[in-house]
Amino acid sequence: MTQHTPDPVTTPPPGEGGDFSPHPAGVFVARCVDVINLGHRLDRKWGKINPKIALVFRTGATRNDGQPFDIGRELTLSMADKANLRKFLESWRGRAYTSAQLLEGVPLHKLVGQPAMLNIVHGQSQTHPDRMYARIDSIMPPMKGFPVPALNEYERAEYWAERQREYANELLVNRAEQVGTEHKHPADQGRSMTPTETGTGPERGEAPASDLAEDDDWDDSRLDDREDEDDSDGSLPF
């Protein structure tokens, strides 16, 4: 019988292993580098289908291997009074939107390139209890004169394409389940129809009156960490 010497392998401490590490916690000067349309997400808890977007920021923080971080905030596309997106943007710009601005619509693509101050905190992952993740807790207007990370060489991470596919697949599964339910219960004609069935959800891009679904944060791509000076006059064009 051939004798083999086992390889010396030791398990890592909880939360370690792989190349995952959360963005450092603290207050950071940042720049918005991307606005991503994630499509529509099924919220099974509340029975809603909500349009989702992600705002991605560069802070200039780097990993142990020298690769730079960025961090994203996923939000429901709604500007209702209690919507998290509206609260987030008004905190960022430092003032509330007027009724006229809300009726006209906020051009979110103009957020790219704009500076901000981010308060980033750590929390425990629900899906991986041994992992810590970073999230954007709050945002404020930038302070004049602070260096702001540049936009150079930003590339959208594959994570976001995976997120889009995930949400699209969830909707397909939900539609298939609903078709199956209708076939099993043809006499059930009095039930409330879903936004997908009525055509008032994804097709018309309607958003709920408030963000009922939990927003998600992400902090797992590489960035260029070069900085430039914020030469703006302090006003933000959104």
Quick one: pLDDT at residue 149? 78
Question: Which of the two residues, 211 and 105, has the higher pLDDT score?
Answer: 105
Lowest-confidence region among 16-20, 77-81, 198-202: 198-202
State how far the Cα of 227 lies from the Cα of 57, in Å rounded to an integer: 13
Summarize pLDDT for 26-57 with one digit per residue, the tens: 999 999 999 999 999 998 888 899 999 999 99
State how far the Cα of 42 lies from the Cα of 69, in Å rounded to an integer: 29
What average pLDDT does the segment 172-176 reach?
Answer: 90
Q: Which residue has the tokens 């000076």?
A: 229
Task: Give the distance between the most distant pair of CA atoms in the chain.
Answer: 83
What average pLDDT does the segment 65-77 reach?
Answer: 88
Summarize pLDDT for 90-142 with one digit per residue, the tens: 999 999 999 999 999 999 999 999 999 999 999 988 877 888 889 999 999 98
State how far the Cα of 83 lies from the Cα of 76, in Å rounded to an integer: 8
Residue-by-residue DSSP string for the chain: ----PPP---PPPTT-STT--PPPPEEEEEEEEEEEEEEEEEETTTTEEEEEEEEEEE---B-TTSPBP-EEEEEES--STT-HHHHHHHHHHTSPPPHHHHHH---GGGGTT-EEEEEEEEEE-SSSTT-EEEEEEEEEPPPTT-EEE--TT----HHHHHHHHHHHHHHHHHHHHHHHHHHH-TT--SSPPPHHHHTSSTTTT---SS--SPP-EE--------EEE--S-S----
Residue type, 136: I
Summarize pLDDT for 138-154 with one digit per residue, the tens: 999 988 888 887 777 88
Quick one: pLDDT at residue 60? 83
